[in-house]
Chains A and B, each alone.
Chain A
Amino acid sequence: MCLAAFLVGCQQGGPKPKAEDIILSKPGLMPSAILEITDEPGHWFKDPIDGDSLVVIKPGQAVMLKMTAETRTEHTITSLLWPSNASGFPVDQEKPSSVSVTTAFDQPGLYVFTCKVHPYVFGAVVVDDPKTEGLDIGSEMQLVTGAKVPTTSDIAKKLLRTYFVATTPALWRDYSKPTWNVALPDIPLNLAGNTISLSALSFSAPNKAFNPAVPGIGEVWVDTQFEIIDGKTKAGSATQVDATTWSIKKKVKGVDINMNHPHNMWTDSQYKNIYQTEWFDKRLTTFDRETGQVLSTVDVGESPSHVLTRPTDDSLYVAINAGESVVKLSGGDRPSVLSAINTGPHTSPHGHYITENGKLMVTPNALASSVSVVNLDSEEVVEIPTGGVIPIAVWGNPEGTRAYVANLLGTPPALLSSMSVIDLDKKIKITDINLAEDYNPITGKVTGEAYGLLPIQTPVSPDGKYVVTANTLSASITIVDTASNKVVKSLPCEPGCHGAHFGLKKGGGYYAYVASKFANDLIIIDMDKLEIAGRVVLADSNDSTISANNGMGGQGVLPLPLAEKSRLQRTRGLLGSGKLTPEVERWLKQATKSQIGGI
């Protein structure tokens, strides 16, 4: 026997040890699903298996939320909402980075993630207990603001519907079709033990575009940020609309430079150059307003969001949304970086404002719940805490004494939706305006005009009377009377209502122009009547190089002539100098005395 064993082989002596006694390591999480962060409109969090922005897992499983090289800027991975009894939540990256997250989910329900820098970037995980009927949405969801709401509430359903619309380009509102159909699939959802079909959130509405009866003066540029264009891998164009005929003059696509998510624009005092931020990139691009030719690009920092000129010298100020600064550049057709103004730790400034006298700049600090007021001569910075969550855009009155800050996620705990009013002389917050005072988030009942949820761009009319705010969740436009700090009007907008600014109405008065991310129309509001005067389509159906999302992604809005009085006066000062094109001279001469104002 011994010989037999010897012949078979001289194996190690003794019984083979049991693996469970020997292996002392414990495996970590193995992701059951992945959501990859991309630059692809609608699919910013993307399941590599089916391309959806939603994955379904079982309790106890993990998901990897993965940054990829497919996005050329930095983001945060942040819980927007989650079941209030979930362990280990919220996930919230303090500052933008290229850092991925793998996390486990213990409680059934809906978990939605976003990026605090690009806060319409949505991805969702549904943790579904196979033992229950329907897909588990949970009983109570907690919002990032701290608020807890039943999943059966109106606000919860709004969030759910908005999530599906935002992440499904086929559900975006296309004005080239007669009807907007939000047809959601018949998937059973379990809300607090009650099963309903997702299709119950479906709806449809007629699409009716129409031109204003009274023309505007000049033109309007709209960043159609989600257009997919042949010849480049990154989305977006800038669409130029004639404010007299309301037809599209051209689209600047930046194919040669692979222009990436053009977000917001401004111009110089001669209206020669358009300065264009590329929000999902690092660049400021300059193109010729008349020809659309790209003149230069310059790297300015992560996720440049908004750009403005200083009225006194045409120097440029670009907010670095995934950073902590506003970069100052020389003007002209080849801007170069002069300096960076630090706005404070973790500020992530987004849609800033420069007073008409050029003395102050105000930044809404998206990640710091504050605004920074910068003296542009001394570059001294005063940071003012506001308590608002993701202050995202700011504008001020003509005198430069008041600023109005849209807080995307309100001012907890009291205000679901808010705008902070800042005294720029005293550098203090005066008050918060409740933009959703007349909305019941549980029942959905709206009892008055104050109905604006998730406010974004918020310009002040050049006469200082009103603040017009684009509200993305409620798809509404709220108008605040600056005398009373009350919402006096609420108008219907579009899904993803986002960008707004004022232009000149022919014969006097102003139009407010409002663009929406998930629709392809530009809304025109007559500020004399506080009514919608028209809806102009931003899609160009004759342009075969636009392969998808035609006219979609409306964000930055730049009406020309610039309607702010001191800026208008400065450009009018160039009349007859030969520095302005005949077209611009013609526009400026159409302005009324009231629009121009006293010098």
Chain B
Amino acid sequence: MTKQVRKKRFWLLYIVMVFGLVNCLQSSPVWAMKSGETHVITLKASNLPSGQLAYQMASHKIKSKYGRIRDVTDRYPQGPTVPGPTIIMTEGDVAEITLEHDIEGSTLPVSLHVHGVHYKIKDDGTVKAMNGIVDSAAFPGKPYTYRWEAASGTAGTWPYHDHTFGNPMLGAEDKGLYGAVIVNPSSMEVTALIDGEIVDVDLDDVKREFVLWMHETTFWGAEINHILDGQQIPLWSNPTIGARLGELIRFHVIGIGTAFHTFHLHGHRWLEHGTSSVVDTVNIGPISRKTFVVEAGEGVGPGAWHYHCHVLQHMQSGMMGKFRVLE
């Protein structure tokens, strides 16, 4: 083998290695968590057979800052759900969300009004009479595209909901048009109480996330399962949520409607956000939210741990479920 041939082979191998490494990094979940991505999303506002309204994920593609596109639509349920799809972003990401009006028998505008992230006034999700600029809403056959920016400092769990359907002042959140946006910190670390210590938890180590909405006297839930690559599972009303003993679980508890609640999970404790205060019950008002990480069954072991609203009248009306912790 001549020196020239060896040199060619070296360069060929070098190019293959670099290409493979870039490909590997881009397709790994770790890479996916990095900020600077653009989420190109199509949501539909639709009907459920019951007459409830609900959002449905039609398409979700993630474009990296290097131009690579991943289609993650299959992470979501195929039909409309209550709550609507949970949109997960990282600080530094942008979402371009096109909303399609798919509500049978109605020509009323439907919208997305989001909390927490940055957006321009045209993306307020309200009618022109309210924002002074534009009907920031979708009509039948006339979708509307919103741009949300998960800017630095917007990390947290935020609600999105309709703000135009039927009543421009209220929208139709009460009829089921609501969902959550989770903005993960760019550090991908959150503080949690684990084994009695306040520690920073790497979000890559969280196995499951439960999004629990407290609406009137009902929990409406969804699971985001990271063992299954972020699969979202609709859990509907007052569900049994489940995990393995010792798994790190992140809860997102959000209020909607008019009632005030006290969320309590038996057998588990966590940190009040931004403090070192240990709690096992938190107040939840309309559109207020709490996010926390627990280790399933920590110190108490497996079991069917009750969770419920601690307002007595709400408990009497069945506002409760189980947190099943299995060996």
Contacts and interface: CB of A to CB of B under 8 A. Distances in A.
Contact of A7 (B20, B48, B241, B326): B20
Contacts of A64: 50, 52, 218
B51 A47 contact: yes
Interface string B224-236: 0101100101111
B25 to A, nearest CB: 8
Interface stretch (B132-140, B157-165, B182-190, B311-319): B311-319
B272 interface: no
A28 B240 contact: yes
Contacts of B51: 33-34, 47-49
Interface in A1-45: 3, 6-12, 17, 19, 22-34
Nearest to A18: B228
Given A31-B237, A99-B314, A12 B29 contact: yes
Contacts of B317: 93, 99-101
Contacts of A30: 48, 50, 234, 236-237
A98 interface: yes
Given A8-B23, A10-B23, A64-B50, A99 B29 contact: no
Contacts of A6: 20, 24
Contacts of B258: 69, 98
Interface size grouping (class) on chain A: 35 or more
Contacts of B318: 101-102
B259 interface: yes
Contacts of B240: 25-26, 28
A68 interface: yes
B29 A24 contact: no
Interface in A89-117: 93-95, 97-102
A68 B316 CA distance: 19
B298 interface: no
B242 interface: yes
A371 interface: no
A174 B238 CA distance: 46
Contacts of B234: 27, 30
Contacts of A33: 49-51
Given A23-B228, A26-B240, A68-B174, A7 B16 contact: yes
A129 to B, nearest CB: 19
B217 A22 contact: no
B170 interface: yes
A512 interface: no
A100 B319 CA distance: 10
B26 to A, nearest CB: 8
Most chain A beta carbons < 10 A, residue from B19, B28, B237: B237
Contacts of A10: 20, 23-25, 27-28
A34 B176 CA distance: 12
A366 interface: no
A222 interface: no
Nearest to A32: B50
Contacts of B223: 23, 25
A403 to B, nearest CB: 32
B313 A99 contact: yes
21 contacts: A7-B19, A19-B231, A23-B223, A23-B242, A24-B324, A25-B242, A26-B235, A26-B324, A27-B233, A28-B321, A31-B52, A32-B49, A34-B50, A48-B175, A98-B216, A99-B314, A100-B216, A100-B217, A101-B318, A102-B238, A102-B318
- 8 closest A-B pairs by beta carbon, nearest first, are A24-B242, A10-B24, A48-B51, A9-B27, A28-B239, A26-B240, A30-B236, A28-B238
Given A23-B233, A102-B238, 6 more contacts: A24-B324, A25-B221, A25-B241, A48-B51, A99-B317, A100-B217
